[in-house]
Amino acid sequence: MSITRLDAGARMSGAVIHGNTVYLAGQVGEGESVTDQCKSALAEVDRLLAAAGSNKSKILQTIIYISDIDYFAEMNAAWEAWVDPANTPARATSEAKLAAPKYKVEFIVTAAI
């Protein structure tokens, strides 16, 4: 099966396509609030999925990190406003500090193409 890398850099690629599956780099977002960061990160997920020939209705698995577990409800509200309710992925969420203190949420997405 072929491997195609999108937004490829020397440290990581934004997305890697292998056969009918695409793996996205963990996406963080800009903004101050959890809601704004979710919107920004999930817009980037949309962009990368589109570039890979996929879309949010084809997400298989999403692993979510939030920097404070108290953000869980706010993240869920932003998630549910974005996700395709008829085609939701397997999901897992935990608390984890992220690459920079300003980041409050990160989404690691695997999707079908």
Q: Kindly list the residues in this chain that would bind its own copies in the complex (CB under 8 A).
A: 1, 3, 5, 8-16, 18-21, 23-26, 58, 60-63, 65, 69, 72, 76, 79-80, 83, 85-99, 106, 108, 110, 112
Q: How far is CA 31 from CA 13, 39, 92, in A?
A: 23, 9, 23
Shortest distance (Å) from residue 38 CB to its own copies: 13
Which stretches does DSSP call E strand in the chain?
3-8, 13-18, 21-24, 59-66, 90-95, 105-112
CB of 11 to its own copies, least distance (A): 6
d(CA 113, CA 105): 25
Q: Report the nearest approach of its own copies to the CB of residue 79 (Å).
A: 7
